Structure formats: C-alpha cells, structure tokens
Amino acid sequence: MTQVAVTASSPSSEPLGELIEQQIFLLRSQRVMLSTTLSALYKVEPRVLVQAVKRNAARFPRDFMFQLTEQEFRILKSQIVISSWGGARRALPYAFTEQGVAMLSSVLNSRRAIQVNVEIVRAFVRLRRILASHVQLARKLDALEKKYDSQFKVVFEAIRDLMMPAPPSRRAIGFAPRGR
C-alpha cells in the first residue's frame, strides 16, 4: 500500500479515479477511506470535515464510519511507510466505508464534494468489479481442473497400463530352421 498525498496546490499527473483507488484501505474487513485523505480530496481541513460529520452524527452509524485505534493507526502508518503522516494530531483519523463516503456528499454540499464523491463511488464500484471477476475466474479454474482431471485420469490409466510389463511369452526351446 502506498499513501499518496493529495493537496489542493499540487497538480497530479494521475487521474482522480486512480488516485482515489490508491487511497482505499482494508480495515476491520471493510474497504475504507480515511478522513485525512477525504479532507484533502474535498479541499477542506480535516477538522472541518470531522465537525460536519459530528453535527450530523445520525447520518453516520458504525457501519458507515469509525475512528481508528492507536494500534490500527500505527499499523497503517507503518504499511504506508510515511514517518510524519499528517503531522502532529490530537485525534486519530476516521475511516469511512463506501456508504459513509456517499453520506458525506449530503453533509459537505459543495460542487467539489459532489464531484469527488462521484469519483469515489466509481472507484469503489471498480474495485468491487475487480474482486468479482477474480471470484468468477477462480470458479472457472476450479471447473476446468475438475473437467480436465477426469479427462486426464483416463490418459494416466492408459499410460499406466502401457507401463506394466507384458506377461512373459513362452519361448520355444530348441532350434528353429530359417525360412520356416
């Protein structure tokens, strides 16, 4: 995993969708985006994003958003390999699931928030399609293995039969004249 800093002033050569996909992490068995990344994408300060969420707490149940623990934050920070991620912080970042990110568009009602949310939802959909295609590919591979295992079983049995030594034929004892 790599963390890509998203700032309002630095132009990016990567399309927004690819940049967003790089910022989706797996935490607590859910694909999430962190509040620090979202605030950079929305071009608002992290505290402004968190304040808007807290003012609308009913819109963000636990399956939409959760705050990272110290251990989760340390592990994620070490995986991303950034020494001073986000600088000094008073609070741990929040993690937003796909539904939580979608709900943010109703809380942050700016043109930028709407555009970013559309791209984020598209990124989550692309990831879901990729994962689904991997599952389908695994199923097809299993079916092919089963199919070819049974076909090759016949071939292997035939090879084993050919490898078995032929029963010894009785050779006549004595001298046989040529030409007979």
pLDDT of residue 64 exceeding 90, the answer is yes
What ranges do the domains of the chain cover?
A: 16-133
Q: Can you say how many angstroms the Cα of residue 29 is from the centroid of all Cα atoms in its chain?
A: 11
Q: DSSP 3-state assignment of 31?
A: strand
User: CA torsion 71→72→73→78, rounded to 10°?
Assistant: 90
Q: Which of 11-20, 27-36, 46-55, 90-99 has the lowest mean pLDDT?
A: 11-20
Q: Using the structure block, give the residue that is written with the tokens 């046989």.
A: 176
pTM (global) more than 0.75: no
Mapping DSSP to helix (H, G, I), strand (E, B) and coil, where does residue 169 land?
Answer: coil
Per-residue pLDDT tens for 130-174?
Answer: 878 877 777 776 676 677 666 666 665 676 677 666 666 666 677
pLDDT for position 149? 67
C-alpha distance across the termini of the chain, in Å: 84
Q: What CATH fold (topology level) applies to the domain 16-133?
A: Mlu1-box Binding Protein; DNA-binding Domain (3.10.260)
Residue 16's contacts (CB-CB under 8 Å, 6 or more residues apart) are: 116, 119
- 81 within 8 A of 66, measured Cβ to Cβ: no
What's the pLDDT band for 115 if we cut at 50, 70, 90?
confident
CA 165/CA 180 separation, integer angstroms: 29
Residue 97 to residue 103: CA distance in whole angstroms: 10
User: Phi-psi category of 60—alpha, beta or left, where left has phi over 0 and alpha has psi -120 to 50?
Assistant: beta
Q: Which of 11, 61, 35, 38 is nearest to 113 (CA)?
A: 38
HSE on the CB side for 58, CA within 13 Å? Answer: 0
For the chain, give the mean pLDDT: 77
